[in-house]
Chains A and B, each alone.
Chain A
């Protein structure tokens, strides 16, 4: 099992460009999450999907949209990138009810110039 995979690993965007970060898990988990990691800020939740077909805002959703394409995939879209969105983005998944552990992907390092 690959666990949680993310693509791309690195990306450089110009201000105003758009892109989609992809995340997939092969553990048949119900819940999926997107975080951003910034120095001195820790991990902050952007959006999450408690189950297939549902998505909800986290702590810092502005400037982002998500799609839970199916049970395996949860994508994060930046419609008009801004320098403030320069960060490392992590996707995570969790099995569901009765399970507490989140499994993290390797991260995507995004730079917006």
Chain B
């Protein structure tokens, strides 16, 4: 079964502390994984894609196929990082392209 698991509903950290938002997936094919973010009163938007292996707003995420994980990390959290974060797995077949989203983790960065 295809599934994305985000075990933490809420993660609170102090400003300047490291952040790790966990994401585990279940998929029999070659996974393509993403992190989407939703800031307060804003639209859901793409943050990271695993293939690009880039750092966006200081966030990085590495795909670990052995552990089937795609955790999102940032060494020093900022207050503006407070948002809802969703991990997503893309599936494709028969020419379609769909996402399976996790349940989301709300990150609160405390001053």
Contacts and interface: CB of A to CB of B under 8 A. Distances in A.
A41 B103 contact: yes
Contact of A42 (B32, B43, B49, B102): B102
Interface residues of B, number: 21
Interface stretch (A11-19, A71-79, A100-108): A100-108
A61 interface: no
A104 B43 contact: yes
A81 B36 CA distance: 30
Contacts, number: 49
A56 interface: yes
A102 B86 contact: no
Interface in A37-74: 40-45, 48, 50, 56, 58-59
A31 interface: yes
20 contacts: A33-B98, A35-B101, A40-B9, A42-B102, A43-B44, A43-B86, A43-B101, A44-B101, A45-B98, A45-B99, A48-B98, A50-B95, A56-B96, A58-B98, A92-B44, A100-B34, A100-B90, A101-B46, A104-B44, A107-B43
